[in-house]
Structure 1
Amino acid sequence: MAELILGQVLTYAADPLAEGPGAARHLGHGAVLVEDGRILAVGGAEDLRAAHPQAQVTDMGRALLSAGFVDAHAHYPQTAIIASWGKRLIDWLNSYTFPEEARFADPAYAREVARRYFDLTLANGTTTAVSYCTIHPASVEAYFEEARRRGLRALGGKTCMDRDTAPEGLRDTARSAYDDSKRLLENWHGRDRLSYVITPRFSPTSTPEQLAALGALWAEHPDCLMQTHLSEQLDEIAWVKTLYPRARDYLDTYEAHGLLGPGGLYGHAIHLERREVDRLRAVGASVIHCPTSNTFIGSGLFDMAGLTGAGLKVGLATDTGGGSSFSMLRTMAAAYEVGQLRHNPLHPAVLWWLATQGSARALGLADRIGNLAPGMEADLIAVDLASTPAIAQRAARAGDLWEALFPTIMMGDDRAIAGVWVGGARAK
């Protein structure tokens, strides 16, 4: 039976980074009609009730109906070590990340963390995630099996590392990285709502031979995405220069090995050189902004205005567990704060778009997720705009939608997520 979900409705007709807040559409008393995993209609509540009298009605009151959040860069294996104290990137990897990822050699542990990860992300309104797994194929199996069980759209891949800069026990080889990734890709890519992502962790933990092998795999499967890290910290960039002395810049370590293209997702991208920006734009690649991670680990301030002004596609992401929250609300708040420090405060319409349609566009999925429109997959959330006393008292003074929504962006958490639908089925 079709379900008619009532509430305020927020959709996007265009990119608010280019068009301003007027790119958004707000219905104060609207509805979304869903059936068989798809959105059938979006419009005024009374009109849709009259047109579909047999539909089951779910009234969310004054909650805001929106597309579910799209987290464009995460590390589900780092769930248990989120908010670990006091390290910059390289120390953080050695002190926390690598010891924890070693535990994923145990398939039972991988399954346990995958269940916990999706519990936490769904509670926070995230309906699509793009995750790095570990070098262990079982970590990928656990991630996709759990996502499939819940009917989620999920993207991920086996992290590949073969240099001795990664610890013993967390290294594969150029050959095994190619073979394992290909087998996992053939098993999972395009199955139900799942997509495989070719995943070299980053140049410092891969030899040129491994990067070339993964570049060859991507050339064989260009419908897959490829994800990696780029220019997160200045000491990381200096490290890359010592390992790849002939490279023109950090991006060139990927480009020279077939790992630059339109399906490329480059996490962080804070300290880019002009050539790197030009090449990323020329091939239609995406950069992924991870603001809570960038401030938590002390990486730097992402240049949203400069990069979008240069024509780059930008997604938004938690980067858990280097990022300090599973919440895309907190991630939007951090993006606003980083923008302020860059003298570029982002409007709430832009922040919400980045967490939904903007990230979907970065993933090449804007025709399927990230917005509420007929034909889109029915991944949506209902957001309580008065979820805590502090938020409620501020929202009560609001003169328009954005004044009502901004306190939830800045102070909201999982209590603000009043409902989640995944493929049209109620999940929260």
Structure 2
Amino acid sequence: MRHSDVQAFRAKILHFTDRPDPTTGQGVEYFDDGVLLVEHGRIKALASAAAMAGQGFDLQQCRHSPEQLIMPGFIDSHIHYPQTAVIASYGEQLLDWLNHYTFPAEQQFADAEFAALAAQQFLNILLANGTTSALVYTSVFAQSTQAFFQQAEAYNLRMIAGKVMMDRHAPAALLDTAESSERECRALIEDWHNRGRLHYALTPRFAPTSTPQQLAVTGKLYRDYPGLYLQTHLSENRAEIAWVKSLFPEASDYLDVYDRFGLLGRRSVFGHGIHVREREIHRLAQTGSGIAFCPTSNLFLGSGLLDLARLESAGVAVSMATDVGGGTSFSLLRTLAEAYKVLQMQQQNLHPLTAFYMATLGNARALDLDTHLGNFAPGKEADFVVLDLGATPLQALRQASTRNLTEQLFALMTLGDEHNVARTYIMGKQVFRRASRKEDQQWTH
């Protein structure tokens, strides 16, 4: 094996082989001094430095970062790329926030050049936050989806995205029709679904902005193309739920609106799901449909507190998501910190091992991507992040007093943010490096 064929990274290394059991440590693999070997963009091997040396591997070949932690890249299960510029917009709950901030911002994406620049900016921010894959909403304009996929392809990212479908109850400039959305989605699916590392998600924004005719089209497309994803919103806000009931009086509940059109399934991800009823929970579990937990958005928009234990005890797959721009940070670290607080308010606990599992292998499983990524199993794609545990003086001080891995991870997720991301790798290639204070940040592709 020539040296040039393999890249070697030596650092603290953490990944998950299964959902972790914090009591026994099952499902957790951690090396205080580990070596990760990457060959042609895929994981070749992972072991302790001592074991690698014992097998005759020359540790001098490694890029050695003894104070840093390598983990699989973070995965975000619900995020809106056209909303990047309206993050942290003041003073509204969901429906007013859409009308006052989101819809005006999304009208700009009718311009293809604007959309392309916005997509590049969005992906750069994701990579700077250590997020290497995401389930992404674009806008109603097909060219914005085209622009997103083109930029994602340039970075060789594994991304899932789709054109928003919206034919009523929005500004006229943002409306498509059932017929145009079918035509445009088919063209985008044919161009991009399963092209390289890219996947397509059917994306009716939410039930109030799609007519029954458009939801029927969505169901037809879902049946016509194997392996598609479906993303939309569910039971985020009580006023939204009442509106849905008035628009679809024949449906037994909000989820039933989607169910009637064949939109549930193991690649269906419903954002929020805060106020779902018992029947809806049972149906989500029965169909393998997932909920994206968006804690910063739920707090910021005053939507409510997700009862994670209730969903998971019923067998519903729950993934972790930022929901930018209703969400207030691209950082999965900050998102985990807010998730911990949301659950504390309900006398529930988010163990740090569980939290980091959710942001990596757990989200990969929820998005049906775990055959490709999510941990460092040999043969998987080498998307990973290198983290500084002590990125600030306060964090360095706190980390110095931690006694074990659990405490280190809890301090990281509670105090951490994008500044902890030192480098981000896609298929073994460095695509982001955080600069020193005297340098500019660097993205490369």
State if a TM-score over 0.5 links the two structures: yes
Query: Partner of 1:217 in structure 2?
Result: 221
Where does 1:254-333 land on structure 2 (aligned, <5 Å)? 254-333=258-337
With 401-410 and 176-185 compared, the bigger mean Cα shift is at 401-410
Where does 1:29-428 land on structure 2 (aligned, <5 Å)? 29-49=33-53, 50-53=55-58, 56-163=61-168, 165-428=169-432
Name the CA distance, whole Å, in 2 between partners of 1:344 and 1:118: 33
Give CA-to-partner distance per residue, 1:224-269, whole Å, 9 cap, x none.
1100100001110001000001100000110111111221101101
Name the CA distance, whole Å, in 2 between partners of 1:81 and 1:17: 39
- Which amino acid is the alignment partner of residue 221 of structure 2? L
1:198/1:226 contact within 8 Å kept: yes
Name the CA distance, whole Å, in 2 between partners of 1:54 and 1:393: 30
Residue 16 of structure 1 aligns to a residue whose secondary structure is coil
Residue 386 of structure 1 aligns to a residue whose secondary structure is coil
Name the CA distance, whole Å, in 1 between partners of 2:387 and 2:22: 26
Name the CA distance, whole Å, in 1 between partners of 2:17 and 2:154: 32
Name the CA distance, whole Å, in 2 between partners of 1:360 and 1:135: 26
Name the CA distance, whole Å, in 2 between partners of 1:175 and 1:55: 61
Displacement after TM superposition at 1:47 (Å): 2.8
Residue 174 of structure 2 aligns to a residue whose secondary structure is coil
Residue 339 of structure 1 aligns to a residue whose secondary structure is helix
With 238-247 and 53-62 compared, the bigger mean Cα shift is at 53-62
- Is there any run of 5+ residues in structure 2 with no aligned partner, and where? 433-445
Residue 248 of structure 1 aligns to a residue whose secondary structure is coil
1:395/1:405 contact within 8 Å kept: no
Displacement after TM superposition at 1:22 (Å): 3.6
2:331/2:418 contact within 8 Å kept: yes
Q: 1:134 to 1:427 in 2, by over 3 A?
A: same
Residue 346 of structure 1 aligns to a residue whose secondary structure is coil
2:399/2:411 contact within 8 Å kept: yes
Paired residues in the alignment total 427
Residue 262 of structure 1 aligns to a residue whose secondary structure is coil
- Which amino acid is the alignment partner of residue 356 of structure 1? T
Query: Partner of 2:438 in structure 1?
Result: none
Displacement after TM superposition at 1:48 (Å): 2.7
Query: Partner of 2:441 in structure 1?
Result: none
Residue 62 of structure 2 aligns to a residue whose secondary structure is strand
Residue 12 of structure 2 aligns to a residue whose secondary structure is strand
Where does 1:6-25 land on structure 2 (aligned, <5 Å)? 6-16=10-20, 21-25=25-29
Q: 1:202 to 1:55 in 2, by over 3 A?
A: farther
Residue 199 of structure 1 aligns to a residue whose secondary structure is strand
Name the CA distance, whole Å, in 2 between partners of 1:65 and 1:406: 16
Name the CA distance, whole Å, in 2 between partners of 1:315 and 1:221: 24
- Which amino acid is the alignment partner of residue 192 of structure 1? G
Displacement after TM superposition at 1:376 (Å): 1.1
Residue 151 of structure 2 aligns to a residue whose secondary structure is helix
- Which amino acid is the alignment partner of residue 13 of structure 1? T
Query: Partner of 2:437 in structure 1?
Result: none
Q: 1:412 to 1:310 in 2, by over 3 A?
A: same
Give CA-to-partner distance per residue, 1:49-86, whole Å, 9 cap, x none.
55444994211222111100000110001011111011
Give CA-to-partner distance per residue, 1:346-374, whole Å, 9 cap, x none.
01001111111111111001121111221
Name the CA distance, whole Å, in 1 between partners of 2:132 and 2:202: 21
- Which amino acid is the alignment partner of residue 105 of structure 1? A
Give the CA RMSD over aligned residues. Answer: 1.4
Give CA-to-partner distance per residue, 1:155-187, whole Å, 9 cap, x none.
100000001x11101000011111111110110
Displacement after TM superposition at 1:38 (Å): 0.4
Query: Partner of 2:443 in structure 1?
Result: none
Residue 229 of structure 1 aligns to a residue whose secondary structure is strand
Displacement after TM superposition at 1:11 (Å): 1.5
Residue 420 of structure 1 aligns to a residue whose secondary structure is strand
Give CA-to-partner distance per residue, 1:212-235, whole Å, 9 cap, x none.
001000011131110010000111
1:2/1:56 contact within 8 Å kept: no
Displacement after TM superposition at 1:18 (Å): 9.1
Residue 252 of structure 2 aligns to a residue whose secondary structure is coil
2:49/2:59 contact within 8 Å kept: no
Name the CA distance, whole Å, in 1 between partners of 2:60 and 2:311: 45
Name the CA distance, whole Å, in 1 between partners of 2:70 and 2:132: 14
2:353/2:409 contact within 8 Å kept: no
1:383/1:419 contact within 8 Å kept: yes
Q: 1:252 to 1:51 in 2, by over 3 A?
A: farther
Give CA-to-partner distance per residue, 1:81-124, whole Å, 9 cap, x none.
11101110000000000000000000010011111111111001
Residue 37 of structure 2 aligns to a residue whose secondary structure is strand
- Which amino acid is the alignment partner of residue 292 of structure 1? T
1:396/1:404 contact within 8 Å kept: no
